[in-house]
Chains A and B, each alone.
Chain A
């Protein structure tokens, strides 16, 4: 039965080719460090799923942000788990992507023919830090408020356009409701869109070029 359904679908969708291209390709023998990339991908998916669940209850206004986060943590069934996964997932994301990058540097994997994979990877790392920075303000607690106050002020140090950047980030001279909605908008729409795009290219290249091998001592 399953085989027939698979055949029926394959005739119309052609999934077997895709399956073969992605999963049945042969790859060089590698060590455990090569799992860091997929672990990062896994945490990214975790962030997306828990993030989407959080937006169901979260309200991005100064009046309600804190209360809604509190509601999620204490009232929503398994809300503590969803928020906990998202919170610690953020840290895991930073750690894993940095470790993944160090592995790539150590084995020289950014070299021909994988330069483009490397560029998209650097972009993805910046996006991860952007997620961390914008997501931090959303609970609207003391730590969020003051860390973002200090964090956004750093932008003002940029010569000439510093104050302009600051006002764009804050939506005015001061941290306000506008800042919150800007950070929220970036965190749930702008950055994810960029992330999905870059990640798509990154993964396509990984499959197309194959993962690099562990270089022998003479290589």
Chain B
């Protein structure tokens, strides 16, 4: 606009004003009328709809799908069209452009013309912008749950579609070495990803991990295995067994009676690897639990290089034979070495001996030994039959990577005493000395749940615990303890506390939380049982629709906590519902006690002769098979193998339990090697069953 045009406008405006109306009362009346209408509308909304208020904010809730307020929905929808690297366009560039255009509007549109007929550009652009916002908002409101990527019968894909694809689309790129299981289980709050551990059982999380990491494996599973197997039932299985089933095809024992093709001919190496990666996903913590924990416990002490550890794991120890050192060392040297192995810092002389003699094979990895006697025994007797399997043959590259990474991380632990001391000082006030919980001092009428229960510990990994301690849980009244958040604890102290809490998983400080353990038992347990459980499990627990609860198999294979969990959470896809929603935990505990009492008459020993197939073999399956499969040495998988295999064969002498090496190893009375299983003796009842079986002539029935 030049000066003349400005002048013209002002003159025209003055004329219009003169012909116009006074602001008061004419316009004020109109304004007031509209304001009143708006107010009435607002009151009506408040009265008929009310301001919504959802559940209290729960950072650990996973089922919540976040949505912004309606006037930001268009932006939210816009983001969906700019995934990944492009996000910055949808989030920053486009909105900034619109705002910049708005600010600059008087400079962009400089003509003196004001009527819309003369300004098609401005009006057109504005109209299309408004239309775009309206359409985006409508789409966001209408958009049905994300398109399912599930194919018929593919449960894992359905699981993925239901839980993940809403935010992640049809696939996710994962950096190698990522602990995906952990990310899914605990979520990533800073990125808005919820923790799934509360909603998905571990099996399903593993299935998802396998699906995400090895989609082709999932497809192969659907094509070849899903007719008989559900994915969550197989994933996180023992890789040894999984590999065997693939390599042996129809001769794999469990497949023998079925028409199973020779997988090796049908699937090439790559496909089998994909399938194994799907079924035992490359997830270090899980792999360690499945493969290593039975001998090594929760973690191994290892301070060497990653490549060393990799070699040790992949080569195993099967081909190595440790000499019986008692033939070469004096008794005092044996003592020195044994004390060093048990406590490396206590005995510097031992370090020299160790470096000279042991490190050639063991590297800096000092074998775990519980006490000096055991260490001395192992060193002096030597032997090769109880060394580590050749994991390199069993695990895929990806699985090996994950296992090495995890083992290294887990090995850099701190002494439990430090953790215990710090725990007592910082945590016990609220969580109790044994993590049993109690009333929440920060919130009235709130109870802190036990953190030492196996349920709690299984569903939270170390990183989650670490984050909780460090950052606190402000909305549950727990203040941050990490120095980074203004708390009293340094990082290594939190490490120690986490390690201490984790140690409860192996050695529960109390059998059950006190309030559960002290609950009155039996009497009312029987009543609840008669009312609720007897319909399916029979009045005496003999089993009708549901399985028998008095049978020894059930009683021995389930700990009290297992039974508690089953009652509490139910069994999917059966009529066993989650009773936790109906019964209190006290009542469930009473039920557990009652169900235990059902088994009492039978828990001693099986009536009649011990059967190999139903009594003895299950013990071998449970306790021995991980190592004593077909990896050489004694083989505990079939009757024939049990009776004939073994380095110093045979290990079973029918009719002579005391003379059988098997029993000696189980009781710890052997002269060669050490007690079996390496993680600690079997319970007495199991040993007694095996003794009885051998005494009866080790029959095969």
Binding site for B on A (CB under 8 A): 22-30, 32, 34-36, 38-39, 42-43, 46, 62-63, 66, 69-70, 73, 80-81, 83-89, 91-92, 94-96, 102, 105-113, 115, 118-119, 122, 125-126, 129, 132-133, 136, 139-147, 149-151, 153-154, 157-159, 172-177, 210, 212-213, 215-219
Q: Which stretch (B99-107, B254-262, B360-368) binds chain A?
A: B99-107
Take A28-B17, A39-B31 as given contacts and tell me if A174 and B68 are in contact as well, using a CB distance cutoff of 8 Å. no
Take A35-B30, A85-B43, A142-B64 as given contacts and tell me if A24 and B474 are in contact as well, using a CB distance cutoff of 8 Å. no
Q: Do B43 and A133 touch (CB < 8 A)?
A: no
Take A27-B17, A87-B46, A158-B92 as given contacts and tell me if A111 and B64 are in contact as well, using a CB distance cutoff of 8 Å. no
A contact residues around B485 at 8 Å (CB):
172
B contact residues around A83 at 8 Å (CB):
46, 51
Partner of B53, one of A30, A70, A102, A151: A70
Q: Do B474 and A142 touch (CB < 8 A)?
A: no
A contact residues around B112 at 8 Å (CB):
111-112
Residue among B31, B66, B79, B122 facing the most chain A CB atoms (10 A cut-off) = B66
B554 at the interface (CB under 8 A from A): no
Q: Do B471 and A213 touch (CB < 8 A)?
A: no
Take A89-B42, A219-B113 as given contacts and tell me if A142 and B17 are in contact as well, using a CB distance cutoff of 8 Å. no
Shortest distance from the beta carbon of B446 to any chain A beta carbon, whole Å: 10
Shortest distance from the beta carbon of A114 to any chain B beta carbon, whole Å: 8
Q: Do A39 and B119 touch (CB < 8 A)?
A: no
A contact residues around B477 at 8 Å (CB):
63
B contact residues around A86 at 8 Å (CB):
51
A contact residues around B34 at 8 Å (CB):
32, 35-36, 38-39, 42
* Residues from 95 to 120 in B contacting A, C-beta threshold 8 Å: 99, 102-103, 105-106, 109, 112-117, 119
Cα–Cα, bound, A92→B681 (Å): 72
Q: Do B35 and A88 touch (CB < 8 A)?
A: no
Q: Do A118 and B105 touch (CB < 8 A)?
A: yes
Binding site for A on B (CB under 8 A): 1, 6, 9-10, 12-13, 16-24, 27-28, 30-31, 33-35, 38-39, 41-43, 45-47, 49-59, 61, 64-72, 79, 87-88, 91-92, 99, 102-103, 105-106, 109, 112-117, 119, 122-123, 126, 130, 189-192, 442-443, 471, 474-475, 477, 485
Q: Do B17 and A92 touch (CB < 8 A)?
A: no
A contact residues around B116 at 8 Å (CB):
106-108
B contact residues around A84 at 8 Å (CB):
42-43, 45-47, 49-51
B contact residues around A175 at 8 Å (CB):
59, 189
Q: Do A173 and B47 touch (CB < 8 A)?
A: no
Partner of B38, one of A29, A43, A158: A43
Cα–Cα, bound, A70→B51 (Å): 11
Cα–Cα, bound, A3→B294 (Å): 98
Q: Do B22 and A27 touch (CB < 8 A)?
A: yes
A contact residues around B114 at 8 Å (CB):
107-109, 111, 212, 215, 219
6 nearest A-B residue pairs (beta carbon)? A84-B46, A146-B66, A108-B114, A145-B57, A215-B114, A23-B24
Q: Do A112 and B9 touch (CB < 8 A)?
A: yes
B contact residues around A217 at 8 Å (CB):
115, 117
B contact residues around A177 at 8 Å (CB):
474
B contact residues around A157 at 8 Å (CB):
87-88, 91-92
Shortest distance from the beta carbon of B80 to any chain A beta carbon, whole Å: 12
Cα–Cα, bound, A140→B113 (Å): 50
Q: Do A32 and B30 touch (CB < 8 A)?
A: yes
Q: Do B56 and A132 touch (CB < 8 A)?
A: no
Q: Do B64 and A73 touch (CB < 8 A)?
A: no
Q: Do B46 and A66 touch (CB < 8 A)?
A: no
A contact residues around B57 at 8 Å (CB):
62, 66, 140-142, 144-146
B contact residues around A140 at 8 Å (CB):
56-57, 475
Cα–Cα, bound, A151→B73 (Å): 11
Shortest distance from the beta carbon of A70 to any chain B beta carbon, whole Å: 7
Shortest distance from the beta carbon of A130 to any chain B beta carbon, whole Å: 12
B contact residues around A88 at 8 Å (CB):
42, 45-46, 49, 51
Shortest distance from the beta carbon of B474 to any chain A beta carbon, whole Å: 5
Q: Do B105 and A141 touch (CB < 8 A)?
A: no
